[in-house]
Amino acid sequence: MARDDIAGAVAQLGLSLPEDVWRGLEIHVGALLKWQRSINLVSRSTLDEVWTRHVLDSLQLLPLIPAGARTLVDLGSGAGFPGLVVAIARPDLSVRLVESDNRKAVFLGEVARQAAPTTVIVNKRIEAAAPDPADVITARALAPLPELLDWAHRFTIDPTICLFHKGRSIDDELTDAERRWMMTMDRVPSVTAPDAAILRVARLRPRR
């Protein structure tokens, strides 16, 4: 599926992406397909649907980012979904991509150099990255919610929000997370999978 096939879904999100953003996304996808031959960036079963399964899935975060946001940290960036896609689409944001795998970090740096040159690649484990606060924290297909919140809390201040892609296990993960964390939370249905949602978390603080 090519970019033209997701244009309608992007418009339904209320987004109007300029041509340079589309070009940046095409650079990202082209690099992914090339690098995938030598390193495992995404599941091979999703390569034929990369524009929907990965690009559109990442773009759906854009309407959820607060208007006043200036900084974003993406945890466990991997192939750049969602963090690098957001960086390409929102060049006004200061974006840090945290990725511990050296080869994936090199991939992210190469794509960022061409398509999102102000993006910072942090080639460290999340717990070793400098805990500089961010307005928005994102993560996709990284870890269960309790572990995500442990990591994310290092980067949060009020009013930081977290935007996490979650699947059918979301209820069980929330039950586990709420034993240790207090938060305000809502779910936004995913536009790419009927059993998935974007979990929006704010006012994250540990239980005493």
78 appears as a binding residue in the annotation: no
Any known ligand binding at 81? yes
CA 117 to chain centre: 17
**Number of residues in the chain:** 208
DSSP-assigned letters across all residues of 36-101 = TTTS--S-GGGGGGHIIIIIIHHHTTGGGS-TT--EEEEES-TTTTTHHHHHHH-TTSEEEEE---
Q: Which residue has the tokens 């935007």?
A: 163
Q: Is 76 annotated as a binding residue?
A: yes
Q: How far is CA 7 from the centre of its chain?
A: 20
**173 marked as binding residue:** no
Q: What is the Cα gyration radius of the chain?
A: 16
How far is 50 from 42, CA to CA, in rounded Å? 9
Integer Cα distance of 44 and 25 in angstroms: 19
Q: Is 126 annotated as a binding residue?
A: yes
Phi first, then psi: give them for residue 68, nearest 5 degrees.
-90, 5
Q: How far is Cα 186 from Cα 203, in angstroms, rounded to an integer?
A: 12
Binding-site residue set: 76, 81, 126-127, 140
Residue ranges of the annotated binding site for S-adenosyl-L-methionine are 76, 81, 126-127, 140
